[in-house]
Amino acid sequence: MTTTPAPPPARRPVVLVAEELSPATAAALGDSSDVRRFDGADRAALLAALPEAEAVLVRSATRIDAEALALAPRLRVVARAGVGLDNVDVRAATQAGVMVVNAPTSNVVSAAELTVALLLAAARHVGPAHAALVRGEWERGRFTGTELHGKTVGILGLGRVGVLVAQRLAAFGMQVIAHDPYVRAGKAAQMGVRMVGLQELLRGSDALSVHLPRTAETVGMVGAAELALARPGLILVNAARGGIVDEAALYDALKTRRIAAAGLDVFAEEPATGSPLLGLDNVVATPHLGAATHEAQEKAGLAAARSVRLALAGELVPDAVNVQGGSIAEVVRPGIPLAEKLGRIFTALAGEVAQQVDVEVRGEIVDHDVKVLELAALKGVFADVVGETVSYVNAPLLAAERGVEVRLVTESESPDHRNLITLRGTLADGSSVSVSGTLVGITQRERVVEVAGFDVDLEPSDHLAFLRYADRPGVIGTVGGILGRAGVNIAGMQVSRDRRGGHALVALSVDSSVPAEVLEEIRVTIQAETARTIDL
Contact (Cβ atoms closer than 8 angstroms) between residue 522 and residue 516: no
66 φ, ψ to 5°? -60, -40
Q: Is residue 143 part of a domain?
A: yes
Domain co-membership, 266 together with 117: yes
**3-state class (DSSP) for residue 321:** coil
Respond yes or no: is residue 288 known to be catalytic.
yes
Of 241, 344, 463, 532, which one is the catalytic site residue?
241
Confidence at residue 59, expressed as pLDDT on a 0 to 100 scale: 87
Domain co-membership, 254 together with 112: yes
Confidence at residue 70, expressed as pLDDT on a 0 to 100 scale: 94
Contact (Cβ atoms closer than 8 angstroms) between residue 29 and residue 9: no
Report the C-alpha gap between 390 and 380 in whole angstroms.
Answer: 8
User: Given strand 490-497, what is the order of strands in its sheet?
Assistant: 490-497, 503-510, 463-470, 530-535
Q: Cα dist. 84→11, 102, 126 in Å?
A: 32, 8, 30
What lies within 8 Å, CB to CB, of 399 at 6+ separation is 357, 378, 381, 382, 406
Contact (Cβ atoms closer than 8 angstroms) between residue 228 and residue 255: no
Side-chain-facing half-sphere of 494: CA atoms under 13 Å = 18
Of the candidates 205, 197, 243, 202, the residue with the CA atom closest to the CA atom of residue 352: 197
Report the C-alpha gap between 131 and 151 in whole angstroms.
Answer: 27
Q: Is residue 465 part of a domain?
A: no
DSSP-derived secondary structure for 6-23? PPPPPPPPEEEE-S---H
Q: For the chain, give the longest Cα–Cα distance.
A: 98
CB atoms near residue 279 (< 10 Å): 10
Of 231, 288, 424, 468, which one is the catalytic site residue?
288
Domain co-membership, 212 together with 240: yes
Q: Is residue 272 part of a domain?
A: yes
Q: Is residue 48 part of a domain?
A: yes
Q: Is residue 119 part of a domain?
A: yes
Give this prediction's pTM. 0.70
User: Which range of residues forms the domain containing residue 31?
Assistant: 12-105+291-327
- CATH code, domain carrying 74: 3.40.50.720
CB atoms near residue 502 (< 10 Å): 9
Side-chain-facing half-sphere of 448: CA atoms under 13 Å = 29
Confidence at residue 115, expressed as pLDDT on a 0 to 100 scale: 98
Contact (Cβ atoms closer than 8 angstroms) between residue 216 and residue 198: no
**3-state class (DSSP) for residue 457:** strand
Contact (Cβ atoms closer than 8 angstroms) between residue 160 and residue 387: yes
Domain co-membership, 159 together with 261: yes
Crossing angle of helices 371-383/394-401, nearest 10°? 60
What lies within 8 Å, CB to CB, of 153 at 6+ separation is 119, 166, 169, 174, 175, 176, 177, 205, 206, 207, 208, 209
Report the C-alpha gap between 300 and 22 in whole angstroms.
Answer: 10
Domain co-membership, 125 together with 226: yes
318 φ, ψ to 5°? -60, -35
CB atoms near residue 501 (< 10 Å): 10
DSSP label at residue 4: P
Domain co-membership, 171 together with 236: yes
Respond yes or no: is residue 270 known to be catalytic.
yes
Domain co-membership, 113 together with 39: no
Q: Is residue 134 part of a domain?
A: yes
State which amino acid sits at residue 1. Answer: M
Contact (Cβ atoms closer than 8 angstroms) between residue 380 and residue 337: no
Domain co-membership, 34 together with 97: yes
Of 302, 327, 352, the domain-final residue:
327
Q: Is residue 239 part of a domain?
A: yes
What lies within 8 Å, CB to CB, of 344 at 6+ separation is 380, 381, 383, 384, 534, 536
pLDDT per position in the chain (536 positions), as tens?
A: 455 555 555 678 999 999 887 788 878 888 878 889 889 889 999 999 999 999 999 988 899 999 999 999 999 899 999 887 889 998 888 778 788 998 888 899 999 999 999 999 999 999 999 999 999 999 888 899 999 999 999 999 998 899 999 999 999 999 999 999 888 788 888 889 999 999 999 999 999 999 998 887 889 999 999 999 999 999 999 999 999 999 999 999 999 999 999 999 999 999 999 999 999 999 999 999 998 899 998 999 999 999 999 888 877 787 888 765 555 677 887 888 899 999 999 988 888 878 889 999 998 888 888 888 998 899 888 888 876 667 666 778 788 888 888 999 998 888 888 889 999 998 888 888 899 999 888 778 898 999 888 888 888 888 888 888 888 888 889 988 998 898 988 888 888 888 887 888 888 888 888 888 888 898 888 888 888 888 88
Of the candidates 239, 229, 173, 172, the residue with the CA atom closest to the CA atom of residue 204: 229
Confidence at residue 50, expressed as pLDDT on a 0 to 100 scale: 95
DSSP label at residue 88: B
Domain co-membership, 119 together with 240: yes
Domain co-membership, 143 together with 45: no
Report the C-alpha gap between 114 and 161 in whole angstroms.
Answer: 11
Domain co-membership, 116 together with 24: no
Q: What total number of domains does the chain contain?
A: 2
Confidence at residue 317, expressed as pLDDT on a 0 to 100 scale: 81
Of 270, 405, 520, 529, which one is the catalytic site residue?
270
Q: Is residue 460 part of a domain?
A: no
3-state secondary structure 146-163: CCCCCCEEEEECCCHHHH
Domain co-membership, 133 together with 266: yes
Respond yes or no: is residue 241 known to be catalytic.
yes
